[in-house]
Structure 1
Amino acid sequence: MTVSTSTQPTPYLDALQRDGFVVVRSLLSPSEISSLKEVATKATTLTRSGGWPHFRTVPKQFPPWPKTPPPASEGGIWGVQHLLHPDMPGRQEFAKFYFSEKVLRVVEELVGVSPTVEEDNREEPLVMELFNLLVAPETKDFELRWHRDDISAEVAPDEELAQLHAKSPNGKQSHAQYNLALCPDTSLIVIPGSHRRARTETERNAAPYEPSLPDQLVVELQPGDAVFYDSNILHRGVYKAKPEGGEETRLTLHGSVGLNGTAGDGGKKKVRATAVLQHGVGAWVDRDDAGFGLGKRAEDMRKNLMAMGKGDDVGYSLQG
């Protein structure tokens, strides 16, 4: 749901709680889109050629992913991982966006944190989590099955509802997750309101890649638009293949920012450990060269992630 901010004190949160997602139009300026598109294209080219070892591969949907990318003839990659890694070319440009006030102000509203100002002695309420890039597969289309990010499709209705309530107490999550489009993007399909209820019998019995479920909605993004969504809304992705030899047709920044375990809603320090650390971010976030030079807030958010641990034994949220 696209919202107007003129009359409501918390328009983004209101839409998220009601619909399970909210579209923020023109979050980026044209110059910001151009700069990020340039570094995102370079990161994708590097990864497709085998020069970056962290990626999502066709046809696998969830981690762990293989160590080597499949050939283009089999679809290749559909994502580039760890844009904030110290060795990632263009890292500083990605970090400027990830830690920008325009992003963090939306996040603060969605996780229930009052806007803050820089203070030397304040405790940072947010946690640096994940920042990745979703791209078009090569030579063949690729689809994600219907899923919730952190709730198994095998659970019974009562347990499904209990987990939804536990993960979003009072309709609020312990993190904010978003897709920011640098190219026109119609890849995300959601079922509005499904983040607050168990699946219907139709949804529960549907084929994993069912192309048409009641009330489903295709989220349409133009360059610079972002969709923030409840990670446990019922959703899937449909990714059209990149034309052979053509320009990149999908460059979508996929990020999440967490609520520190000691701040807000009585959250627990490791409530997000599995969902975040399963991607391997704990392996490099504490490196001596992993700072960003973007001020106290970025550094405190990084330290809050470091406090979550390495993630060697957290396991994986979903399989497949």
Structure 2
Amino acid sequence: MSSTPYLDALRKDGFVKIPNLVPPHLLLALKASCKYTTDRARQGKWPYVRTVPKQYPPWQEWKPGDNIWGVQHLLHPDMGVKDIFAEIYFSDEILSVVKELVGLKDDPHGDEKLVMELFNLLVSPAQQQGFELCWHRDDIRPEVTPEEEEKLLQEKSPAGQQLHAQYNIALFDDASLIVVPGSHRRIRTETERAAAPHEPDLPGQLVVELQPGDAVFYDSNILHRGIYTGIDATSELGRMTLHGSVGLAGHGNERARQVLQHAVGEWVGRAQFSMEGRKGERAEGMRRRLVDMGSGKDLGYSLVG
């Protein structure tokens, strides 16, 4: 059997689903923390949100009347329940998978090469009208030529491996992510190039169905989109899915732009975590390596819209 089954699946399909990755006791705490955090964000008591219908950063701070589809900066020093979020973000369960995916599985100093990046929450819009993301790759704009697309795909996954790992962790049932398996390794077909931004039935597409505690790690340049079904927030919880990324140190402005466009550089310098021992040392090292990436000013944005 392969010693890197998760990496093998990621290379082949562009995603790998891992059932029951979150321990039951932590899943319960995360559900409560995310409900509390989402309620506050919908009331304007947490300003860092993703608002309907904007798909990509920069996002504006919450204002009355906004309908949100995401809550930003779960590790922010002003986030009241950040220690619960830090427990899963810096956990062995998550980072053991990350290290396999970025080539550090057998490296005894692997922790010292990881970089804290993004940790956010994806939620259902609190109105009956839903919201859909268009088909995209996270860091390749749709208007590029086939030649440029091929060049960028090779640059962003040298030797078939990305310099970061990103994931969704479902806290409740989730069937929002739609992917085209294998599309992370090739340019778009003519059908994909000509498809409408919200094409509902792209050839080969697959809905990634997650149950509470399941995770999906995916290549950021797989063709994918998301569907956010609207809910009545007075009686429904809807979708609450953690969305995170962890990087590999030492790769300059290219990765810095992708991370710092989310404004995490504005507060990471004063972030603190209450964990002790090895996990606390790992968290501080990862935080410090993000600080070393800078503030992100003048680096621009990956996508527009």
- Contact 2:86 2:273 (8 Å CA) reproduced: no
- Match of 1:255, SS state, is strand
Corresponding residue number in structure 2 for 1:313: 298
Question: The residue matched to 2:252 in structure 1 has which SS?
Answer: coil
Aligned-residue offset at 1:243: 2.2
- Secondary structure of 1:249's aligned partner: coil
* Superimposed CA distance per residue, residues 216-254 of structure 1 (whole angstroms, 9 cap, x where no aligned partner): 000000000000000000000001012241131111000
* Superposition deviation, residue 24 in structure 1: 0.5
SS at match of 1:124: helix
- Mapped to 2, the partners of 1:170 and 1:209 lie a distance apart of 31
What residue in structure 2 maps to residue 134 of structure 1?
A: 122
Q: Report the alpha carbon displacement of residue 192 of structure 1 after superposing the two structures with TM.
A: 0.2
Alignment of 1:292-307 (within 5 A): 292-294=274-276, 295-307=280-292
Query: Offset of 1:70 from its aligned partner?
Result: 5.8
1:81 to 61, 68, 72: 72
CA distance in 1, matches of 2:246, 2:2: 23
Q: SS in structure 2 opposite 1:198?
A: coil
The equivalent of 1:147 in structure 2 is 136
Q: Name the stretch that deviates more: 107-116 or 88-97.
A: 107-116
Cα distance in 1, alignment partners of residues 16 and 167 from structure 2: 9
Deviations 1:193-220 (A, max 9, x none): 0000000000000000000010000000
Q: Does 1:274 align with 2:278?
A: no
- 1:150-186 superposed Cα distances (whole Å, 9 cap, x missing partner): 0000000111011001000111000000000001000
Verify the 8 A CA contact 1:284 1:290 in the aligned structure 2.
Answer: no
For structure 2, which runs of at least 5 residues remain unmatched after alignment?
Answer: none
Q: Please report how far the alpha carbon of residue 68 of structure 1 lies from its aligned counterpart in structure 2 after TM superposition.
A: 2.4
Show the counterpart of 1:260.
249
Of 269, 272, 279, the residue aligned with 1:290 is 272
Contact 2:165 2:247 (8 Å CA) reproduced: yes
For 1:311, give the aligned amino acid: G
Conserved in 1, the CA contact under 8 Å of 2:114 and 2:247? yes
* Residue in structure 1 matching 2:17, options 17, 20, 23: 23
- Give 4+ residue runs of structure 1 displaced > 4 Å after superposition: none
Deviations 1:109-145 (A, max 9, x none): 000013455x7xx871100000000000121100000
Alignment-derived partner of residue 203 in structure 1: 192
**SS of equivalent residue, structure 1 residue 132:** strand
Query: TM-score by structure 1 length?
Result: 0.91
1:228 aligns with 2:228: no
Whichever residue aligns with residue 317 of structure 1, its letter is S
Alignment size in residue pairs: 301
Aligned partners of 1:70 and 1:77 also within 8 Å: no
Identity of aligned residues (%): 59
Instruction: Provide the residue aligned with 2:83 in structure 1.
Output: 92
2:40 paired with 1:40? no
Secondary structure in structure 1 of the residue aligned to 2:210: coil
Cα distance in structure 1, aligned partners of 2:242 and 2:149: 29
